[in-house]
Amino acid sequence: MCPPADDLTEIVIKRPRRAKSGKFTGAPAELAPIIAAQASEASMYAALWRILPGQIGVRIILVLILVAAVLAVLATWVYPWMDGILNNQEATVGGA
């Protein structure tokens, strides 16, 4: 359940912060489930970011290399394999 629009201005101005205990502070109690759900969704990406070594520049380069490697694997092996399975020769455009 979303709070009324008047309350959103106060929430945006006073953003909740995560305390050292891992809990959010400064947010109204009714927003706690929403904030917890958003934090759990983002935690996978945060965990992946934390396990990468080096400073931010090195991490960005590593992420770009990993994305390029995944795309290369998809284009080299996965997409050709899927092309053999899917029968795209029987597609019709228009009606005749």
What's the mean pLDDT in 68-93? 86
**Would residue 95 count as lying in a domain?**
no
Q: Cα torsion at 37, 39, 41, 46 (round to 10°)?
A: -170
For residues 46 and 59, state if they share a domain: no
For residues 45 and 76, state if they share a domain: no
What's the mean pLDDT in 77-84? 89
Q: What are the tens digits of pLDDT across the range 16-52? A: 555 555 555 565 666 667 666 666 556 777 788 888 8
- 10: pLDDT confidence band, cut at 50, 70 and 90? low
CB atoms within 10 A of CB 52: 14
Q: Which two tokens stand for residue 95?
A: 């009606």
pTM: 0.49
Question: Residue 8 pairs with which residues in a beta bridge?
Answer: none
DSSP H/E element including 7: helix 5-13
Quote the domain boundaries for residue 14: 1-51
